[in-house]
Amino acid sequence: MNCNLRPDNESMKLLNECAKEITARKFNQLGYPFDQNTQFHEFYKWLADTKLCDITLINVGNPYKTDWDMLNTDYFECESIDFIASRFGFDDNHWGVIANGGTDGNMHGIYFGRKALAAKSSRPPVLYVSAEAHYSLQKIGDVQNVEVRPIRAHEMGQMDVEDFAEKLDPSRPALVAIAIGGTFKGAIDDQKAINEVLLEKKPVASYRHLDVALFGGYLPFLDDPAAREIVDVSKMNFDSIAVSGHKFLGMNEPAGIFICHKDILKLVEGAPIPYLKYSIPTISCSRSGFDALKLYWHIKSLGDDGFKAQAGHVLEMGKLLEKSLLERGIKAHRNPYSNTVFFTRPQEKIVKKYAMACNDDPVFGKLAHVVAMQYFTPELVKTIADDIASNS
Ligand SMILES: Cc1ncc(COP(=O)(O)O)c(C=O)c1O
Protein backbone atom coordinates (compact mmCIF):
# COMPACT_ATOMS: atom_id res chain seq x y z
CA MET A 1 0.00 0.00 0.00
CA ASN A 2 1.40 3.39 -0.97
CA CYS A 3 1.40 6.13 1.59
CA ASN A 4 2.86 9.60 1.73
CA LEU A 5 6.40 9.71 3.09
CA ARG A 6 5.84 13.09 4.71
CA PRO A 7 2.86 14.82 6.29
CA ASP A 8 1.21 17.71 4.41
CA ASN A 9 2.87 21.16 4.34
CA GLU A 10 0.74 22.56 7.13
CA SER A 11 1.68 19.71 9.48
CA MET A 12 5.35 19.94 8.43
CA LYS A 13 5.31 23.60 9.36
CA LEU A 14 4.12 22.72 12.87
CA LEU A 15 6.71 19.95 13.20
CA ASN A 16 9.53 22.23 12.05
CA GLU A 17 8.48 24.98 14.43
CA CYS A 18 8.50 22.44 17.25
CA ALA A 19 12.01 21.22 16.26
CA LYS A 20 13.32 24.78 16.09
CA GLU A 21 11.96 25.74 19.47
CA ILE A 22 13.22 22.57 21.17
CA THR A 23 16.74 22.77 19.72
CA ALA A 24 17.00 26.46 20.64
CA ARG A 25 16.16 25.66 24.28
CA LYS A 26 18.00 22.36 24.65
CA PHE A 27 20.33 23.69 27.33
CA ASN A 28 17.48 25.30 29.31
CA GLN A 29 16.26 22.22 31.15
CA LEU A 30 18.46 22.53 34.18
CA GLY A 31 16.11 20.97 36.72
CA TYR A 32 16.09 17.60 34.96
CA PRO A 33 19.05 15.26 34.61
CA PHE A 34 19.33 14.74 30.87
CA ASP A 35 22.50 14.52 28.79
CA GLN A 36 21.75 17.16 26.16
CA ASN A 37 25.09 16.49 24.48
CA THR A 38 24.38 12.96 23.29
CA GLN A 39 25.44 12.74 19.66
CA PHE A 40 22.99 10.33 18.07
CA HIS A 41 22.91 11.78 14.55
CA GLU A 42 25.30 9.03 13.34
CA PHE A 43 23.06 6.41 14.91
CA TYR A 44 19.95 7.78 13.19
CA LYS A 45 21.87 8.05 9.91
CA TRP A 46 22.87 4.39 10.29
CA LEU A 47 19.22 3.45 10.93
CA ALA A 48 18.25 5.26 7.72
CA ASP A 49 21.17 3.86 5.67
CA THR A 50 20.46 0.28 6.74
CA LYS A 51 16.68 0.77 6.38
CA LEU A 52 16.24 -0.49 9.94
CA CYS A 53 14.24 2.68 10.51
CA ASP A 54 11.47 1.21 8.33
CA ILE A 55 11.16 -1.96 10.43
CA THR A 56 9.27 -2.62 13.66
CA LEU A 57 11.65 -4.04 16.24
CA ILE A 58 10.32 -5.47 19.48
CA ASN A 59 12.15 -7.45 22.14
CA VAL A 60 9.97 -9.76 24.22
CA GLY A 61 10.40 -11.18 27.71
CA ASN A 62 13.81 -12.52 28.67
CA PRO A 63 16.51 -11.06 26.38
CA TYR A 64 18.83 -13.99 27.24
CA LYS A 65 16.45 -16.55 25.67
CA THR A 66 17.69 -18.63 22.78
CA ASP A 67 15.70 -20.11 19.92
CA TRP A 68 13.44 -17.16 19.12
CA ASP A 69 12.04 -16.66 15.62
CA MET A 70 10.73 -13.10 15.86
CA LEU A 71 13.03 -10.28 14.67
CA ASN A 72 14.83 -8.98 17.72
CA THR A 73 17.91 -7.21 19.06
CA ASP A 74 18.25 -9.43 22.15
CA TYR A 75 22.00 -9.85 21.62
CA PHE A 76 22.60 -6.10 21.91
CA GLU A 77 20.26 -5.84 24.89
CA CYS A 78 22.24 -8.57 26.71
CA GLU A 79 25.59 -7.03 25.78
CA SER A 80 24.45 -3.65 27.15
CA ILE A 81 23.09 -5.18 30.35
CA ASP A 82 26.25 -7.25 30.84
CA PHE A 83 28.41 -4.13 30.47
CA ILE A 84 26.41 -2.21 33.07
CA ALA A 85 26.04 -5.22 35.40
CA SER A 86 29.82 -5.72 35.48
CA ARG A 87 30.27 -2.06 36.45
CA PHE A 88 27.91 -2.74 39.39
CA GLY A 89 30.13 -5.65 40.47
CA PHE A 90 27.82 -8.47 39.31
CA ASP A 91 29.50 -11.69 38.18
CA ASP A 92 28.09 -13.84 35.36
CA ASN A 93 25.30 -14.91 37.63
CA HIS A 94 23.18 -11.84 36.88
CA TRP A 95 20.03 -11.25 34.89
CA GLY A 96 18.59 -8.04 33.52
CA VAL A 97 16.47 -6.24 31.01
CA ILE A 98 16.25 -2.83 29.36
CA ALA A 99 13.15 -1.43 31.01
CA ASN A 100 10.89 1.34 29.76
CA GLY A 101 12.31 3.86 32.24
CA GLY A 102 13.43 4.33 35.83
CA THR A 103 9.93 3.76 37.16
CA ASP A 104 9.64 0.53 35.15
CA GLY A 105 12.98 -0.60 36.62
CA ASN A 106 11.64 0.08 40.11
CA MET A 107 8.39 -1.67 39.20
CA HIS A 108 10.43 -4.78 38.41
CA GLY A 109 12.52 -4.35 41.58
CA ILE A 110 9.43 -4.34 43.79
CA TYR A 111 7.78 -7.13 41.78
CA PHE A 112 10.87 -9.36 41.93
CA GLY A 113 11.25 -8.50 45.63
CA ARG A 114 7.66 -9.43 46.31
CA LYS A 115 8.05 -12.77 44.52
CA ALA A 116 11.38 -13.55 46.19
CA LEU A 117 9.94 -12.80 49.63
CA ALA A 118 6.78 -14.82 48.94
CA ALA A 119 9.03 -17.85 48.32
CA LYS A 120 10.42 -17.45 51.85
CA SER A 121 7.40 -16.41 53.90
CA SER A 122 3.64 -16.61 53.57
CA ARG A 123 3.19 -13.31 55.43
CA PRO A 124 2.60 -10.15 53.35
CA PRO A 125 5.70 -7.96 52.93
CA VAL A 126 6.06 -4.33 53.97
CA LEU A 127 7.73 -1.88 51.57
CA TYR A 128 9.98 0.56 53.43
CA VAL A 129 10.85 3.67 51.49
CA SER A 130 12.17 7.05 52.55
CA ALA A 131 9.98 10.14 52.21
CA GLU A 132 12.68 11.62 49.91
CA ALA A 133 12.78 8.66 47.52
CA HIS A 134 11.16 8.99 44.08
CA TYR A 135 7.37 9.16 44.31
CA SER A 136 7.04 6.17 41.98
CA LEU A 137 8.06 3.75 44.73
CA GLN A 138 5.05 4.54 46.90
CA LYS A 139 2.81 4.37 43.84
CA ILE A 140 4.30 1.00 42.85
CA GLY A 141 3.45 -0.22 46.37
CA ASP A 142 -0.17 0.79 45.68
CA VAL A 143 -0.20 -0.88 42.25
CA GLN A 144 1.30 -4.11 43.58
CA ASN A 145 -0.83 -4.06 46.72
CA VAL A 146 2.16 -3.96 49.08
CA GLU A 147 1.76 -2.02 52.31
CA VAL A 148 4.09 0.98 52.15
CA ARG A 149 5.71 2.35 55.32
CA PRO A 150 7.26 5.74 54.57
CA ILE A 151 10.43 6.39 56.56
CA ARG A 152 11.39 9.88 57.69
CA ALA A 153 14.30 11.56 55.95
CA HIS A 154 17.00 13.76 57.47
CA GLU A 155 17.01 17.39 56.38
CA MET A 156 19.67 16.73 53.69
CA GLY A 157 17.42 13.99 52.26
CA GLN A 158 18.96 10.77 53.55
CA MET A 159 16.74 8.05 55.03
CA ASP A 160 16.57 8.31 58.85
CA VAL A 161 17.79 4.81 59.72
CA GLU A 162 16.64 5.12 63.34
CA ASP A 163 13.11 5.69 62.10
CA PHE A 164 13.55 2.67 59.80
CA ALA A 165 14.62 0.53 62.79
CA GLU A 166 11.57 1.70 64.75
CA LYS A 167 9.11 1.08 61.92
CA LEU A 168 10.54 -2.28 60.84
CA ASP A 169 8.16 -5.14 61.64
CA PRO A 170 10.36 -8.27 62.01
CA SER A 171 7.34 -10.58 61.84
CA ARG A 172 6.79 -9.62 58.18
CA PRO A 173 9.13 -9.79 55.18
CA ALA A 174 10.93 -6.49 54.60
CA LEU A 175 11.16 -5.04 51.10
CA VAL A 176 13.52 -2.10 51.40
CA ALA A 177 13.77 0.45 48.59
CA ILE A 178 17.06 2.29 48.96
CA ALA A 179 17.55 5.66 47.24
CA ILE A 180 21.02 6.21 45.83
CA GLY A 181 20.50 9.79 44.77
CA GLY A 182 17.13 11.03 45.99
CA THR A 183 15.29 12.91 43.26
CA PHE A 184 15.32 16.40 44.72
CA LYS A 185 18.30 16.64 47.10
CA GLY A 186 20.48 13.89 45.64
CA ALA A 187 20.97 12.13 48.98
CA ILE A 188 22.44 8.64 49.21
CA ASP A 189 20.80 6.35 51.78
CA ASP A 190 23.25 4.60 54.10
CA GLN A 191 23.19 0.97 52.97
CA LYS A 192 25.63 -0.22 55.63
CA ALA A 193 23.42 1.20 58.41
CA ILE A 194 20.29 -0.26 56.77
CA ASN A 195 22.00 -3.65 56.50
CA GLU A 196 22.97 -3.48 60.19
CA VAL A 197 19.34 -2.85 61.18
CA LEU A 198 18.25 -5.85 59.10
CA LEU A 199 20.93 -8.02 60.72
CA GLU A 200 19.97 -6.89 64.19
CA LYS A 201 16.17 -7.00 63.85
CA LYS A 202 16.17 -10.16 61.73
CA PRO A 203 12.90 -9.81 59.79
CA VAL A 204 11.55 -13.18 58.58
CA ALA A 205 12.95 -12.36 55.13
CA SER A 206 14.37 -9.29 53.47
CA TYR A 207 15.02 -7.93 49.98
CA ARG A 208 16.91 -4.75 49.10
CA HIS A 209 16.23 -2.91 45.86
CA LEU A 210 18.45 0.03 44.91
CA ASP A 211 16.97 2.94 42.98
CA VAL A 212 20.07 4.48 41.40
CA ALA A 213 18.23 6.30 38.59
CA LEU A 214 20.71 9.11 37.96
CA PHE A 215 23.67 8.31 40.24
CA GLY A 216 23.93 4.71 39.02
CA GLY A 217 25.11 6.08 35.69
CA TYR A 218 28.16 7.90 37.04
CA LEU A 219 29.11 6.43 40.46
CA PRO A 220 30.70 3.29 38.91
CA PHE A 221 32.97 5.48 36.79
CA LEU A 222 34.32 7.82 39.47
CA ASP A 223 37.99 7.52 40.51
CA ASP A 224 37.04 7.41 44.20
CA PRO A 225 36.70 3.73 45.31
CA ALA A 226 34.30 4.78 48.10
CA ALA A 227 31.91 6.14 45.44
CA ARG A 228 32.13 2.96 43.36
CA GLU A 229 31.53 0.80 46.44
CA ILE A 230 28.08 2.34 46.95
CA VAL A 231 26.75 0.62 43.82
CA ASP A 232 28.98 -2.46 44.00
CA VAL A 233 26.84 -5.52 44.68
CA SER A 234 29.86 -7.55 45.82
CA LYS A 235 30.38 -5.03 48.64
CA MET A 236 26.81 -3.96 49.46
CA ASN A 237 25.01 -7.21 48.76
CA PHE A 238 21.76 -5.69 47.44
CA ASP A 239 19.31 -7.88 45.52
CA SER A 240 18.39 -5.73 42.54
CA ILE A 241 19.13 -2.35 41.04
CA ALA A 242 17.37 0.02 38.63
CA VAL A 243 19.17 2.75 36.70
CA SER A 244 17.64 5.23 34.27
CA GLY A 245 18.84 5.02 30.69
CA HIS A 246 17.88 8.58 29.79
CA LYS A 247 19.73 10.30 32.61
CA PHE A 248 23.51 10.04 32.88
CA LEU A 249 23.60 7.02 30.54
CA GLY A 250 22.64 9.33 27.71
CA MET A 251 19.62 7.72 26.04
CA ASN A 252 17.48 10.42 24.44
CA GLU A 253 14.11 8.87 25.26
CA PRO A 254 12.78 6.94 28.25
CA ALA A 255 14.73 3.79 29.04
CA GLY A 256 15.92 2.00 32.16
CA ILE A 257 18.05 -0.96 33.12
CA PHE A 258 16.93 -3.47 35.72
CA ILE A 259 19.48 -5.99 37.02
CA CYS A 260 19.23 -8.71 39.67
CA HIS A 261 20.89 -11.99 40.68
CA LYS A 262 19.93 -14.88 38.43
CA ASP A 263 18.58 -16.99 41.30
CA ILE A 264 15.89 -14.34 41.90
CA LEU A 265 14.76 -14.71 38.29
CA LYS A 266 13.95 -18.38 38.95
CA LEU A 267 11.47 -17.32 41.65
CA VAL A 268 9.67 -14.96 39.28
CA GLU A 269 9.31 -17.14 36.19
CA GLY A 270 5.90 -18.77 36.08
CA ALA A 271 4.53 -21.28 33.62
CA PRO A 272 5.49 -20.81 29.96
CA ILE A 273 3.10 -18.67 27.91
CA PRO A 274 2.19 -21.05 25.05
CA TYR A 275 2.14 -18.46 22.24
CA LEU A 276 5.48 -17.01 23.43
CA LYS A 277 7.16 -20.38 24.01
CA TYR A 278 8.82 -19.26 27.24
CA SER A 279 7.79 -18.07 30.67
CA ILE A 280 7.95 -14.28 30.71
CA PRO A 281 9.63 -12.67 33.73
CA THR A 282 9.01 -9.09 32.60
CA ILE A 283 5.79 -7.23 33.39
CA SER A 284 5.28 -5.67 29.96
CA CYS A 285 5.45 -8.00 27.00
CA SER A 286 7.05 -5.72 24.37
CA ARG A 287 10.09 -3.49 24.68
CA SER A 288 11.80 -1.31 22.11
CA GLY A 289 14.35 -3.23 20.05
CA PHE A 290 15.78 0.14 19.02
CA ASP A 291 16.61 1.02 22.65
CA ALA A 292 18.93 -1.97 22.78
CA LEU A 293 20.70 -0.91 19.57
CA LYS A 294 20.98 2.68 20.76
CA LEU A 295 22.32 1.84 24.21
CA TYR A 296 24.83 -0.60 22.70
CA TRP A 297 25.88 2.08 20.18
CA HIS A 298 26.35 4.61 22.97
CA ILE A 299 28.29 2.23 25.24
CA LYS A 300 30.59 1.14 22.41
CA SER A 301 31.13 4.73 21.23
CA LEU A 302 31.96 6.11 24.67
CA GLY A 303 33.59 3.13 26.36
CA ASP A 304 34.83 3.19 29.93
CA ASP A 305 37.12 6.14 29.30
CA GLY A 306 34.29 8.27 27.93
CA PHE A 307 32.00 7.44 30.85
CA LYS A 308 34.83 8.12 33.31
CA ALA A 309 35.51 11.53 31.81
CA GLN A 310 31.80 12.40 31.88
CA ALA A 311 31.41 11.16 35.47
CA GLY A 312 34.27 13.35 36.69
CA HIS A 313 32.87 16.28 34.72
CA VAL A 314 29.32 16.22 36.12
CA LEU A 315 30.64 16.14 39.69
CA GLU A 316 33.10 18.96 39.00
CA MET A 317 30.32 21.06 37.49
CA GLY A 318 28.03 20.34 40.46
CA LYS A 319 30.76 21.48 42.86
CA LEU A 320 31.45 24.58 40.79
CA LEU A 321 27.78 25.54 40.72
CA GLU A 322 27.47 25.14 44.49
CA LYS A 323 30.61 27.25 45.03
CA SER A 324 29.51 29.91 42.55
CA LEU A 325 26.12 30.27 44.23
CA LEU A 326 27.64 30.44 47.72
CA GLU A 327 30.11 33.11 46.52
CA ARG A 328 27.14 35.16 45.32
CA GLY A 329 25.39 34.91 48.70
CA ILE A 330 22.82 32.26 47.67
CA LYS A 331 22.12 29.53 50.23
CA ALA A 332 23.10 26.45 48.22
CA HIS A 333 23.52 22.80 49.25
CA ARG A 334 24.90 19.63 47.71
CA ASN A 335 25.17 16.10 49.08
CA PRO A 336 28.35 13.97 48.86
CA TYR A 337 28.88 12.54 45.33
CA SER A 338 25.90 14.53 44.08
CA ASN A 339 25.67 16.56 40.90
CA THR A 340 22.37 18.05 42.14
CA VAL A 341 22.56 21.48 43.75
CA PHE A 342 19.55 22.81 45.64
CA PHE A 343 19.18 26.40 46.76
CA THR A 344 16.77 29.11 47.84
CA ARG A 345 14.31 29.49 44.99
CA PRO A 346 14.94 32.52 42.75
CA GLN A 347 12.21 34.55 41.07
CA GLU A 348 9.64 32.68 39.03
CA LYS A 349 10.94 34.05 35.71
CA ILE A 350 14.32 32.34 36.34
CA VAL A 351 12.67 29.10 37.42
CA LYS A 352 10.68 29.14 34.18
CA LYS A 353 13.56 30.26 31.96
CA TYR A 354 15.71 27.30 32.99
CA ALA A 355 12.92 24.80 33.78
CA MET A 356 14.21 24.36 37.33
CA ALA A 357 12.54 21.77 39.56
CA CYS A 358 11.06 23.21 42.79
CA ASN A 359 10.10 21.96 46.22
CA ASP A 360 8.66 23.41 49.43
CA ASP A 361 10.83 22.12 52.24
CA PRO A 362 9.91 22.17 55.96
CA VAL A 363 13.52 23.08 56.91
CA PHE A 364 14.93 25.04 53.95
CA GLY A 365 11.71 26.72 52.76
CA LYS A 366 11.12 27.39 49.07
CA LEU A 367 13.76 25.54 47.05
CA ALA A 368 14.78 24.99 43.44
CA HIS A 369 17.37 22.61 42.11
CA VAL A 370 19.70 22.30 39.15
CA VAL A 371 21.33 19.06 38.01
CA ALA A 372 24.78 19.49 36.49
CA MET A 373 25.02 17.20 33.47
CA GLN A 374 27.42 16.45 30.62
CA TYR A 375 26.60 19.67 28.70
CA PHE A 376 27.56 21.95 31.60
CA THR A 377 30.58 24.20 31.12
CA PRO A 378 32.18 26.71 33.52
CA GLU A 379 30.68 29.47 31.32
CA LEU A 380 27.17 28.02 31.62
CA VAL A 381 27.62 27.66 35.40
CA LYS A 382 28.66 31.33 35.64
CA THR A 383 25.66 32.44 33.58
CA ILE A 384 23.24 30.43 35.71
CA ALA A 385 24.80 31.61 39.00
CA ASP A 386 24.74 35.28 37.85
CA ASP A 387 21.14 34.94 36.70
CA ILE A 388 20.06 33.35 39.98
CA ALA A 389 21.94 35.90 42.09
CA SER A 390 20.52 38.91 40.29
CA ASN A 391 16.97 37.55 40.43
CA SER A 392 16.70 36.32 44.03
C1 LIG B 1 15.56 8.67 42.03
C2 LIG B 1 14.62 8.46 40.86
N3 LIG B 1 14.05 7.26 40.69
C4 LIG B 1 13.19 7.04 39.67
C5 LIG B 1 12.88 8.02 38.77
C6 LIG B 1 11.89 7.72 37.69
O7 LIG B 1 12.47 7.62 36.47
P8 LIG B 1 11.61 7.68 35.11
O9 LIG B 1 11.24 9.12 34.91
O10 LIG B 1 12.56 7.17 34.10
O11 LIG B 1 10.43 6.82 35.25
C12 LIG B 1 13.45 9.28 38.91
C13 LIG B 1 13.12 10.36 37.96
O14 LIG B 1 13.45 11.49 38.07
C15 LIG B 1 14.35 9.51 39.99
O16 LIG B 1 14.91 10.72 40.19
Per-residue pLDDT of 213-229, as tens digits, reads 999 999 999 999 999 99
pLDDT tens across 282-318, in order? 999 999 999 999 999 999 999 999 999 999 999 999 9
pLDDT value at 148 more than 80: yes
How far is ligand 1, taken at its centre, from the CA of residue 68, in Å?
A: 32
Based on the domain organization, do 192 and 276 belong to the same domain?
Answer: yes
Least confident of 170-184, 260-274, 366-380: 260-274
Query: Got the DSSP string for 131-152?
Result: TTS-HHHHHHHHHTT-EEEEE-
For residue 342, the model assigns a pLDDT of 98
How far is ligand 1, taken at its centre, from the CA of residue 135, in Å?
A: 8
> Domain for residue 2, yes or no?
no
Q: Which of 34, 103, 189 to mutate to test the pocket of ligand 1 (most atoms within 8 A of CB)?
A: 103
pLDDT value at 68 more than 70: yes
Based on the domain organization, do 88 and 36 belong to the same domain?
Answer: no
Classified as helix, coil or strand, 286 is strand
Give the residue-averaged pLDDT of 199-225.
Answer: 98
Top-confidence residue, 255 or 38:
255
| Average pLDDT in the chain | 96
Based on the domain organization, do 224 and 319 belong to the same domain?
Answer: no
Give the residue-averaged pLDDT of 138-145.
Answer: 97
Share of the chain above pLDDT 70, in %: 99
Specify whether the CB–CB gap between 295 and 129 falls below 8 A: no
CA distances from 282 to 95, 169, 239 (A): 11, 29, 17
> Domain for residue 1, yes or no?
no
Give the residue-averaged pLDDT of 312-332.
Answer: 98
Final residue belonging to a domain, choices 269, 299, 329: 299
For residue 37, the model assigns a pLDDT of 86
How far is ligand 1, taken at its centre, from the CA of residue 23, in Å?
A: 24
Range of the domain at 351: 9-44+310-389
Give the residue-averaged pLDDT of 48-76.
Answer: 96
> Domain for residue 93, yes or no?
yes
> Domain for residue 305, yes or no?
no
pLDDT tens across 91-131, in order? 999 999 999 999 999 999 999 999 999 999 999 999 999 99
For residue 58, the model assigns a pLDDT of 96
pLDDT value at 277 more than 90: no
CA 342 to chain centre: 19
For residue 278, the model assigns a pLDDT of 86
For residue 279, the model assigns a pLDDT of 86
Top-confidence residue, 58 or 272:
58
CA distances from 389 to 107, 238, 315, 327, 373 (A): 40, 42, 22, 10, 21
pLDDT value at 56 more than 80: yes
For ligand 1, atom 15, which residue shows the shortest CA distance? Answer: 183
> Domain for residue 384, yes or no?
yes
For ligand 1, atom 14, which residue shows the shortest CA distance? Answer: 183
pLDDT value at 2 more than 70: no
Strand runs labelled E in 181-339: 206-211, 240-244, 256-261, 286-288, 332-333
Classified as helix, coil or strand, 129 is strand
For residue 20, the model assigns a pLDDT of 98
Final residue belonging to a domain, choices 299, 321, 342: 299
> Domain for residue 4, yes or no?
no
Q: Residue 128's domain is classified under what CATH number?
A: 3.40.640.10
Based on the domain organization, do 314 and 237 belong to the same domain?
Answer: no
Based on the domain organization, do 70 and 123 belong to the same domain?
Answer: yes
Based on the domain organization, do 196 and 333 belong to the same domain?
Answer: no
Which atom of ligand 1 has the smallest separation from the CA of 244?
10
For residue 133, the model assigns a pLDDT of 96
Domain count, the chain: 2
For residue 275, the model assigns a pLDDT of 86
Pocket of ligand 1 (CB under 6 A): 101-103, 106, 134, 136, 179, 181, 183, 211, 213-214, 244, 254, 256
Final residue belonging to a domain, choices 244, 270, 299: 299
> Domain for residue 270, yes or no?
yes
Based on the domain organization, do 257 and 382 belong to the same domain?
Answer: no
Specify whether the CB–CB gap between 89 and 234 falls below 8 A: yes
Question: Which residues does residue 359 pair with via DSSP β-bridges, in sequence order?
Answer: 367
Based on the domain organization, do 115 and 57 belong to the same domain?
Answer: yes
pLDDT value at 269 more than 90: no
